[in-house]
C-alpha cells in the first residue's frame, strides 16, 4: 500500500503499463519535459525517452489522428487532451475515425488508443477549462467511456484502459487530482474489478445515488450528511458510462426503491437522461419516485466566480434526495 494523489496514481499506472508493454506510448501537448500541465505524466519522458513520451505539436486533431496511425502500426498510444474544452478539434478524428475504423475493417483493425481528458470544474479556471463533455462520447458507438473518481481506481482503470483493444475515452476529475488515498500497487490485475463494472462505494437501503468522476466524493459526503437525518443512501460509482453496468444499478435501485443520478454536466440531454431511462425500464415496479437528475444548469459553463452555484454540491444532492422522498 502507498498513499498517492489521484494524479500520481494515474502516473504510476501509466508507468506500470509502459514497463509491461514496450508498445505503450504517451503523447500530447506538454506531456514530456513539463510532465503535463497537471503533472500527470511527470518523469515519464525522463525514464522512457522521447520516442515513447512524445511532446506533440499543438493540434488536438493531429494528436488523435497520428495516434490512430501509430495504433495501426501496432502501438498503444495514450493521448492527453490538455483540457476538456479542447477536445473538440479532435472530435472529428475521435468520432469519424477512432470509433468507426474497427467496424469499417470488419474487425481486422483494432485501435487500442486511450484518450485521457481532465474534466469538470471547480478549479477557478477560464472558459473551456471546466467542462464535462462525456455525453458527446457516450453517444458515439465504438468508443468505451470511463471515468475514475479516486486514486485506487485511477491506478487500475488507466492500466485496464491501455490494455483494452477498443478505443477508450478516459475522463479524469481534475479537481480531485490532488486528493490522496491508499492505493494497493501490488495487487494482481486479475483481482481488479473489470473497468466496465460499477462499484457500490457506500451501502444503503433507502435511496440509490448514481454518480461518476468528480461527483462521487460529493455524493459520499451527501450520504454521510443524510445519515444524520436518518436516511440511508447507497452510492454507486458508475465508473463506466459506455457500456453502463445496468445490472449493478438495477440491483441497487430494486433494493432501495429510489434513485437520483448526479453529474456536473448540464442536465438536459446529459448522461443522466440515459441512466434515468434505463432505471425506469428495469425498475419500474420498484420505484417509489421518479428518477431525479442533479447536474449543472442547461447553460454553458459559467465564469468561475459563479461556478460554486453551477456545480452540484452536497446541498443540491440532498435537495434531490428530499424531493425523491417527498414524492
Partner 1 sequence: MTADAPHGAEAPPELVQLLTPEGERVEHPDYDIDLTPEEIRGLYRDLVLVRRVDLEAVALQRQGELGIWASLLGQEAAQIGSGRALAETDMAFPTYREHGVAWCRGVDPVNLLGLFRGVNHGGWDPAEHNFHLYTIVIGSQTLHAVGYAMGVQRDSAEAATIVYFGDGATSQGDVNESFIWASVFNAPVVFFCQNNQWAISEPLEKQSRIPLYRRASGFGFPGVRVDGNDVFACLAVTRKALADARSGQGPMLIEAFTYRMGAHTTSDDPTRYRVAGELEAWKLKDPIERVRAYMFKNQLADQEFFDAIDAEADDLGRDVRKRCLALPDPEPLAIFDHVYAEPHRLMDEERAQFAAYLEGFEG
- For cell 453517444, what's the residue? 139
Which residues within the stretch 58-87 sit at the binding site for partner 1 (CB under 8 A)?
Answer: 59, 61-62, 64-75
Partners of 77 in beta bridges = 25
Does 189 engage in binding with partner 1 (CB under 8 A)?
no
Rule CB under 8 A: is residue 115 a binding residue for partner 1?
A: no
Strand order in the sheet with 144-147: 53-55, 24-28, 76-80, 114-119, 168-173, 144-147, 240-242
126-145 residues near partner 1, rule: CB under 8 A: 141-142, 144
Tell me how long the chain is: 327
Name the minimum Å distance from CB 322 to partner 1. Answer: 33
Nearer to partner 1, 38 or 75 (CB): 75
Q: Is 263 annotated in the active site?
A: no
Would residue 33 be called left, alpha or beta, if left means φ above 0 and alpha means ψ between -120 and 50 degrees? alpha
State in angstroms the smallest separation of the CB of 310 from partner 1.
31
Q: What are the E-state strand segments in the chain?
A: 2-5, 24-28, 53-55, 76-80, 114-119, 144-147, 168-173, 180-183, 199-202, 207-211, 233-237, 240-242, 259-266, 292-296
Query: Backbone phi, then psi, for 106, in 5-degree steps?
Result: 55, 40
Q: Which of 119, 152, 164, 211 binds partner 1 (CB under 8 A)?
A: 164
Shortest distance in whole angstroms from residue 112 CB to partner 1? 8
262 pairs with which residues across the strands? 211, 294
Q: Please choose, out of 5-13, 80-88, 96-104, 216-224, the segment that lies near partner 1 by the rule CB under 8 A.
A: 96-104
Q: How far apart are CA 117 and CA 82, in angstroms?
A: 7
Q: Does 53 participate in binding partner 1 (rule CB under 8 A)?
A: no
> Is 21 a residue that touches partner 1 (CB under 8 A)?
no
Instruction: Name which of 57 and 191 has its Cβ closer to partner 1.
Output: 57
191 binds partner 1 (CB under 8 A): no
Positions in the binding site for partner 1 (CB under 8 A) = 51, 56-57, 59, 61-62, 64-75, 89, 92-93, 96-97, 100-110, 141-142, 144, 164-166, 196, 242-246
Amino acid at each position: 500500500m502507498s498513499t498517492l494523489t489521484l494524479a500520481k496514481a494515474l502516473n504510476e499506472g501509466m508507468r506500470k503499463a509502459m514497463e509491461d508493454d514496450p508498445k505503450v506510448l504517451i503523447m500530447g501537448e506538454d506531456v514530456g519535459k513539463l510532465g503535463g500541465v497537471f503533472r500527470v505524466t511527470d518523469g515519464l519522458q525522463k525514464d522512457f525517452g522521447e520516442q515513447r513520451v512524445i511532446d506533440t505539436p499543438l493540434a488536438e486533431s493531429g494528436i488523435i489522428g497520428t495516434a490512430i496511425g501509430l495504433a495501426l502500426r501496432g502501438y498503444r498510444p495514450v493521448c492527453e487532451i490538455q483540457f476538456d474544452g479542447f477536445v473538440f478539434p479532435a472530435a472529428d478524428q475521435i468520432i469519424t475515425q477512432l470509433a468507426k475504423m474497427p467496424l469499417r475493417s470488419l474487425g481486422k483493425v483494432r485501435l487500442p488508443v486511450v484518450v485521457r481528458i481532465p474534466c469538470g470544474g471547480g478549479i477557478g479556471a477560464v472558459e473551456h477549462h471546466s467542462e464535462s463533455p462525456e455525453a458527446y462520447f457516450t453517444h458515439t458507438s465504438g468508443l468505451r467511456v470511463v471515468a475514475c473518481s479516486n486514486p485506487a481506481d485511477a491506478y487500475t482503470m488507466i492500466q485496464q484502459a491501455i490494455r483494452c483493444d477498443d478505443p477508450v475515452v478516459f475522463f479524469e476529475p481534475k479537481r480531485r487530482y490532488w486528493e490522496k488515498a491508499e492505493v494497493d500497487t501490488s495487487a494482481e490485475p486479475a483481482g481488479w474489478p473489470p473497468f466496465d463494472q460499477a462499484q457500490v462505494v457506500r451501502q444503503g437501503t433507502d435511496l440509490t445515488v448514481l454518480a461518476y468522476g468528480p461527483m462521487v466524493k460529493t455524493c459520499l459526503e451527501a450520504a454521510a450528511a443524510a445519515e444524520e437525518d436518518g436516511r440511508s443512501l447507497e452510492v454507486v460509482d458508475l465508473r463506466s458510462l459506455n457500456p453502463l453496468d445496468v445490472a449493478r444499478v438495477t440491483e441497487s435501485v430494486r433494493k432501495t426503491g429510489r434513485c437520483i443520478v448526479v453529474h456536473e454536466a448540464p442536465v438536459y440531454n446529459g448522461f443522466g437522461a440515459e441512466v434515468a431511462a434505463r432505471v425506469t425500464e428495469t425498475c419500474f415496479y420498484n420505484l417509489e419516485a421518479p428518477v431525479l437528475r442533479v447536474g449543472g444548469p442547461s447553460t454553458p459553463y459559467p465564469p468561475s466566480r459563479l461556478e460554486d452555484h453551477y456545480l452540484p454540491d452536497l446541498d443540491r444532492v440532498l435537495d434531490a434526495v428530499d424531493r425523491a422522498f417527498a414524492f
